Structure formats: structure tokens, C-alpha cells
């Protein structure tokens, strides 16, 4: 992250499924960094990069409380497996943020805190071919 000033660039549509399994469409702002010219998608708190379901739904699935969507057990298992894998990465990013004074050690992070911290610090694992790169580059 280069800490450059971000300016409005355009809007992009992003879809996600809610707890009833309905598709919602959002219009998200894309911001452009004035120094490195990279584009950043402004993610609202309820979205997780690359995830088809809203954050609250993912939280419910992880906690084993999801009442409606996702109905398929396979999807629920996949979400749980994703969380088991990424949790270590989240904790690493969180420790990094505390060490560098970006986060308070007094805070008890919840899923949205981890997602924000990881996206904002530029440590979100990108997996263009479905690979989990964070396993190869542990913090
Ligand atoms: Zn930049």
C-alpha cells in the first residue's frame, strides 16, 4: 500500500446473496490512487472479496447458525473450510496491525474487523486460479 490519495474513479456492480438466498446488486465506488494509479474497489463492511454470500451469512455458517441460505451442505462445508484456512492469515495480519500501531490490542476483532484490516493493509490473498496463495506466503 502506497498511502497515496484516493479519488473517485467510477462505479462497478457487485452481486451477493443474502440470508434468504436472494441476489442483491450493489453499485460500488472504484477509487484511483493519485500516486501509483492503481484502482481500489471500495468494499462495504458486509462484503468479503471473492465470496458469493454477504458477510453476515458467512458468519452464521461459521457459527453453525445459518437458518436458511445457503441450503446446500456442500456450500456450508466449503465456507467453513475457507474460514479454517484463512483464520491463521487473519490473525497474522491482525498481529501485524497491532505491532505497527494500526489497531488497538484492546479490540476484540470480529469477522468484519479481520476482513477490513486484511483488505486495507493489502494482505488479501488473491487466488486467480482458485489457489490459496496465503498458504505459500504466511505472514
Ligand atoms: Zn497508490
Rounded to an integer, what distance in angstroms lies between the CA atom of residue 61 and that of residue 69?
9
Residue 21 lies in a domain: yes
Residue 92 lies in a domain: yes
Taking only Cα atoms into account, the Rg of the chain, rounded to an integer number of angstroms, comes to: 16
Residue 1 lies in a domain: no
Residue 105 lies in a domain: yes
What's the pLDDT at 133?
Answer: 39
Q: How far is the CA of 1 from the centre of ligand 1 (A)?
A: 6
Sign of CA dihedral 32, 36, 41, 45: negative
Residue 97 lies in a domain: yes
What's the pLDDT at 129?
Answer: 41
Q: How far is the CA of 73 from the centre of ligand 1 (A)?
A: 41
Overall domain count for the chain: 1
What's the pLDDT at 127?
Answer: 53
CB atoms within 10 A of CB 90: 20
Q: How far is the CA of 71 from the centre of ligand 1 (A)?
A: 41
Q: How far is the CA of 37 from the centre of ligand 1 (A)?
A: 6
Q: Which domain holds residue 60?
A: 6-135
| Residues of the chain scoring pLDDT < 70 | 1, 126-139
Amino acid at each position: 500500500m502506497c498511502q497515496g490519495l484516493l479519488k473517485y474513479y467510477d462505479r462497478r456492480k457487485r452481486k451477493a446473496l443474502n440470508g434468504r438466498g436472494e441476489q442483491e446488486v450493489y453499485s460500488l465506488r472504484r477509487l484511483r490512487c493519485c500516486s501509483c494509479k492503481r484502482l481500489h474497489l471500495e468494499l462495504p463492511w458486509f462484503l468479503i472479496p471473492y465470496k458469493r454470500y454477504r458477510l453476515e451469512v458467512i458468519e452464521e455458517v461459521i457459527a453453525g447458525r445459518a437458518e436458511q441460505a445457503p441450503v446446500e451442505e456442500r456450500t456450508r462445508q466449503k465456507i467453513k473450510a475457507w474460514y479454517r484456512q484463512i483464520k491463521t492469515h487473519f490473525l497474522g495480519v491482525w498481529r501485524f496491525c497491532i505491532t505497527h500501531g494500526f489497531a488497538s490490542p484492546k479490540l476484540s476483532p470480529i469477522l468484519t474487523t479481520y476482513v477490513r484490516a486484511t483488505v486495507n493493509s493489502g494482505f488479501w490473498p488473491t487466488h486467480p486460479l482458485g489457489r490459496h496463495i496465503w498458504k505459500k506466503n504466511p505472514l
